[in-house]
A = this chain, B = another copy of it.
Amino acid sequence: MRYSTNINTSERYEIPSDLDDSVRIRDFLHKNRGKRVIVVQGLGFVGAVMALVCANAFTEEYAVIGVDLADEHSFWKIRSLNDGLFPLVADDPNIPLFFEKSIEKGNFIATYDTAAYKHADIVIVDINLDVQKTSTQDGSLVDYDVDLGGFKKAIRTIGQNCKDEVLILIETTVPPGTTEFVARPILEEELNLRELSIKRYKLGHSYERVMPGPDYISSIREFPRVYSGVNEGSADAVQEFLETIIDISQCDLTRLEHTNATEMCKVLENSYRAMNISFAIEWSRFAEEAGVNLYAMVDAIRVRKTHANLMYPGIGVGGYCLTKDPLLASWAMKAHFKSDSNLNMSVNSVSMNDQMPRFAFERLEESFGSTQGLSIALLGVSYRGNVGDTRFSPVETVARLMQSKGAKLVFHDPYVRYWHEMDVHVEKDLDTVLNADIDIILIATGHREYTQDDVVAKLFKLKPCIIYDTIGLLTDAQISLLREKHEIGVLGRGDL
């Protein structure tokens, strides 16, 4: 018997061995007859919310079926959705609102049965595509590879089931060239095997710019979009679909010449961000060694429009995208375009960013001594402020380094109850964490809660300890106050 655990509720579901869900699908389609059917493949941070957006499209009523795998990582999402509990916790009030509406309308179910693809007018591919990194102990990148096995299998499943008149829209961030050189041949091979026409299907690529957090839904519906198709008919079909779910009165849809271009556009966009962060990291080291405050410099420089994207240094980069997208691009240059050159700068930025958590930890020990046996409170475990998303969080590296030194850790995060990568409980109540016998408080995530003066007042009241702000969240005034009693370290700041 296999089980899948709901990471939000800890409820354990038995995974069925019989994957036939056709009765429920038939019932659903019967209730929703007359509507075009959208199947969303992958119910993760993008797919689940994309499905909600489709179930609440602006100009058309769709019947939406979310499909994911009946395995330990994903089955609970299917169950949770069908039980009326959205599988993501985020502080966007539109998420429960949209979910409730879809339940009322009865136009959204989830299933593990691949037969769902047979009924799709539109398939949206929102599965993960990971990069396998090999790194040294300090985090610097030695090698990386992309395994397209899972992606190919997912596309083949679609090709084995879909109608010949279907729009397949890939939203997954893929190595540039993947839609044309990988997905297209598989789809055509499978259509040919079933003796169906390969003239009628449409295939396109469009990437979301979803931002988990308070604007989760609107970051899909009210955000400019880039899209393309493998041919003009496909691009037209993608456009026609996007116009039903995006608020085009506010947001431009930009058609690029080819799927190669939109795929590259996505990884370029994220590589730009990754590089901006690594640039801040590089200069934060210089600022520390010269004993000057980098945050003040960045503030002074950002007044220029041409320099407004200059970023602050921090504990490192996390999340699903910036930690890998430059590698997808560089990998594709060789694998899909047989290039001799590569994207050295962009790849190095990943390596640089990956080293930052260890660097943050080492700076802490250099400045304040060994963490051996100390009690440490980590404020924030998410990789990003105001969001509960621990995927590839740099806090994990710092926490593991501290544990390896025998430090005793407690974790606080307003948005995370259970940190599954670390398999630990996370406190919601700040007092519970701060009341403990704490030697070091490490501010690790830029949650808005930690910037409030009453939190600083709480920190002030504690017995003297070390407060290490890894992301420059505290203001100069707050630092001055805390310094009266505590030792203060701020990463990238001369006064560490």
CB–CB B337/A257 < 8 A: no
Complex alpha-carbon distance, A330 and B8, angstroms: 48
CB–CB A333/B269 < 8 A: no
Encode contact with B along A224-264: 1 for CB under 8 Å, 0 otherwise.
10100000000000000000000000001010111011001
CB–CB B343/A256 < 8 A: no
* Contact pick for A258, options B264, B269, B292, CB 8 Å: B292
A475 at the interface (CB under 8 A from B): no
Complex alpha-carbon distance, A384 and B165, angstroms: 52
Q: Which residues of B contact A264 (CB under 8 A)?
A: 283, 286-287, 290, 292, 297
Q: Which residues of B contact A329 (CB under 8 A)?
A: 286
- A286 and chain B: residue at smallest CB distance: B333
Complex alpha-carbon distance, A269 and B485, angstroms: 36
A185 at the interface (CB under 8 A from B): no
Q: Which residues of B contact A297 (CB under 8 A)?
A: 256, 261, 264-265, 268
Q: Which residues of B contact A224 (CB under 8 A)?
A: 300, 303-304
* Contact pick for A341, options B261, B279, B289, B303, CB 8 Å: B289
Complex alpha-carbon distance, A341 and B363, angstroms: 14
A183 at the interface (CB under 8 A from B): no
- Stretch of A270-278, A389-397, A411-419 that contacts chain B: A270-278
Counting chain B CB atoms within 10 Å of each CB, which of A271, A290, A291, A333 scores highest? A290
A209 at the interface (CB under 8 A from B): yes
Complex alpha-carbon distance, A352 and B348, angstroms: 14
Complex alpha-carbon distance, A309 and B309, angstroms: 6
- A254 and chain B: residue at smallest CB distance: B300
A177 at the interface (CB under 8 A from B): yes
Contacts A209-B304, A300-B254, A303-B252 given: A289-B333 contact, CB under 8 Å? yes
Name A residues whose Cβ lies closer than 8 Å to a Cβ of B: 176-177, 209, 224, 226, 252, 254, 256-258, 260-261, 264-265, 268-269, 271-273, 275, 278-279, 282-283, 285-287, 289-293, 296-297, 299-301, 303-310, 329, 333, 336-337, 339, 341, 343-346, 348-349, 352, 494
